[in-house]
């Protein structure tokens, strides 16, 4: 990856990978990557643009059209994905630390992310390795052989978010490679470092040159160019609704395949019967904290809307606020820290605006609502914000309607099961939600009525690589993970063979 004559600074600037080579930006532009815990730069990367994007797409196009990867036997592709998983396990500690510094999360969260990335590569390796070569279609005649086969879609553009940089990249890269595609990925310009590192691991695992390409740079140039590029066959985007809409509009011009995961406004519905025992009450409160405040709430499936039955609201919210106020904030690399900073000054300012609007609209502040006092674990320059609980909220509030992506939990109440379902579904999003109840029949009824792509019963946040992930409504289109996640990166082809051809005689002459 490096040559013997370049300095470490020169090497650091070469984070664009096209056709098997690491390159600096064609313009020479660079960007500093800041540690959100203290706002200090800890890395410098290339700042690519449209020209760099075209170069990477051309490399991916050549590798698909004339290269070996699309025609590599499935068993060999699966073996490479397993080698990547092994390398991720080998590098778990440095990658987990890098993810922590990049995104601000705790090192333990970073380690868990690396484990999940390895799991994704292994899952898609096993999935393709165990598949039948095609689906035989009964044509009603022994003289007809009819089969549906699946082929790679081609050159895939991937645009990933800043909150789970490597995990979100793996959800796209692993199935794309398993299916035989080539790709160009644009990680978030805020948190690109682990995705850059993954490209090195793919090369080390033996992936042919040109199959994996990366352009580090901003969305308005690199992302926009990928979405509109005529040589891109599919664009997969994870991020905000506004940006995702622009991606879909740009992709529509060339009628390419599109997969969008656009976040959510996720309800966590707690029935009183879930809290009848002390163990049940403790578990529901603990999980409500996890739902809202893991990674400072910067999670697309964060349970930021607590919808609790009125009869237990006061006790539940009081205990929730008490525990939220005790969450230990600090630099993610420090021992004992439970929650890190927000990813950027912009994200913290956005969170502050949402809290201010909620209070102006009548919400009651139960805890948080401000920046914490500085400490050795929390430098004043870091982007820290206290976990915040807002009580007495209602659907008309901006903070209830829109995705905050910060450590903010709103509280709404209900009296009946129908009212609970109506509140939970009263959102333009539909990514995930949960229901807490001791009544198994109610659990199944409510889960069946919730219009969300993932529904947890008496739990929050777990996912399985073998189960599809995606949402209803404005949470996006398409699915990641599971068999459907692999299908996003394939085209279906029907091959119909007549084993005994003869004249049709449709035309007499």
402 catalytic residue (yes or no): no
d(CA 479, CA 34): 32
CA 372 from chain center: how many Å? 28
Nearest to 333 by CA among 42, 41, 101, 34: 101
Residue linked to tokens 């390796």: 125
Catalytic residue, chosen from 261, 319, 352, 417, is: 261
Give the integer Cα–Cα distance in Å for 150 and 405.
Answer: 38
CA distances from 5 to 23, 92, 162, 263, 330 (A): 15, 30, 33, 45, 40
3-class secondary structure, 302: coil
3-state secondary structure of 195: helix
275 is catalytic: no
Tokens 């009824």 -> residue: 445
Q: Where are the beta strands (DSSP E) in 274-374?
A: 305-309, 364-367
* H or E stretch covering 426: none
Name the strand (E) or helix (H) holding 231.
none
* Region label for 301, one of left (φ > 0), alpha (ψ between -120 and 50) or beta (otherwise): alpha
Q: Are 111 and 96 in contact (CB under 8 A)?
A: yes
Three-state secondary-structure class, residue 144: strand
**Separation between Cα atoms, residue 412 and residue 393, nearest integer Å:** 5
Quote the CA–CA distance of 232 and 249 in Å, as a whole number.
15
> What tokens does 469 get?
């992930």
The number of residues in the chain equals 509
The interaxial angle of helices 74-90 and 107-129, nearest 10 deg, is 160
Q: Report residue 339: phi and psi, to 5°.
A: -150, 135
Catalytic, out of 99, 189, 228, 300: 300
Backbone dihedral angles phi then psi of residue 29, each to the nearest 5 degrees: -70, 150
Per the DSSP assignment, residues forming a β-bridge with 234 are 156, 257
Tokens 């049709």 found at: 504
Catalytic residues: 261, 300
């Amino acid at each position: 990856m490096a040559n013997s004559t370049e300095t470490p600074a020169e090497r650091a600037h070469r984070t664009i990978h096209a056709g098997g080579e690491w390159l600096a930006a064609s313009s020479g532009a660079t960007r500093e990557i800041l540690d959100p815990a203290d706002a200090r730069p800890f890395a410098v990367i290339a700042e690519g643009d449209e020209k760099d994007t075209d170069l990477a797409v051309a490399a991916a196009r050549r590798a698909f059209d004339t290269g070996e990867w699309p025609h590599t036997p499935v068993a060999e592709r699966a073996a490479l994905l397993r080698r990547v998983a092994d390398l991720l396990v080998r590098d778990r500690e440095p990658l987990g630390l890098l993810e922590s510094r990049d995104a601000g999360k705790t090192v333990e969260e970073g380690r868990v992310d690396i484990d999940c990335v390895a799991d994704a590569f292994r899952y898609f390796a096993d999935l393709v390795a165990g598949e039948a070569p095609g689906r035989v279609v009964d044509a009603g005649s022994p003289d007809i052989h009819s089969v549906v086969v699946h082929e790679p879609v081609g050159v895939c553009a991937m645009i990933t978010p800043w909150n789970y940089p490597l995990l979100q990249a793996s959800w796209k890269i692993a199935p794309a490679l398993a299916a035989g595609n080539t790709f160009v990925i644009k990680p978030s310009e805020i948190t690109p470092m682990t995705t850059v590192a993954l490209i090195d691991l793919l090369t080390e695992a033996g992936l042919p040159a040109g199959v994996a390409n990366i352009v580090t740079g901003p969305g308005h140039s690199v992302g926009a160019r990928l979405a509109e590029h005529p040589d891109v066959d599919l664009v997969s985007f994870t991020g905000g609704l506004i940006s995702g809409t622009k991606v879909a509009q740009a992709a529509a011009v060339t009628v390419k395949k599109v997969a969008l995961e656009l976040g959510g406004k996720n309800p966590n519905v707690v029935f009183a019967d879930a809290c009848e025992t002390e163990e049940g009450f403790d578990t529901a409160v603990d999980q409500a904290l996890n739902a809202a405040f893991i990674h400072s709430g910067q999670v697309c499936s964060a349970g930021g809307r607590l919808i609790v039955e009125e009869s237990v609201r006061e006790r539940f919210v009081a205990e929730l606020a008490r525990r939220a106020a005790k969450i230990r904030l600090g630099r993610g690399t420090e021992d004992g820290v439970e929650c890190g900073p927000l990813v950027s000054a912009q994200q913290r300012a956005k969170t502050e605006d949402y809290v201010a609007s909620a209070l102006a609209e009548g919400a009651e502040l139960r805890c948080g609502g401000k920046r914490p006092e500085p400490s050795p674990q929390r430098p004043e320059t870091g982007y820290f914000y206290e976990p915040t609980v807002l009580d007495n909220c209602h659907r008309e509030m901006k903070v209830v309607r829109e995705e905050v992506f910060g450590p903010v939990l709103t509280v709404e109440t209900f009296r009946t099961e129908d009212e609970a379902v109506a509140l939970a579904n009263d959102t333009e999003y539909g990514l995930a939600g949960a229901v807490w109840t001791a009544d198994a029949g109610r659990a199944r009824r409510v889960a069946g009525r919730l219009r969300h792509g993932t529904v947890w019963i008496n739990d929050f946040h777990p996912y399985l690589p073998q189960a599809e992930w995606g949402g209803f409504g404005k949470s996006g289109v398409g699915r990641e993970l599971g068999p459907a996640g692999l299908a996003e990166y394939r085209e279906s082809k029907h091959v119909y063979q007549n084993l005994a051809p003869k004249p049709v005689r449709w035309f007499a002459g």
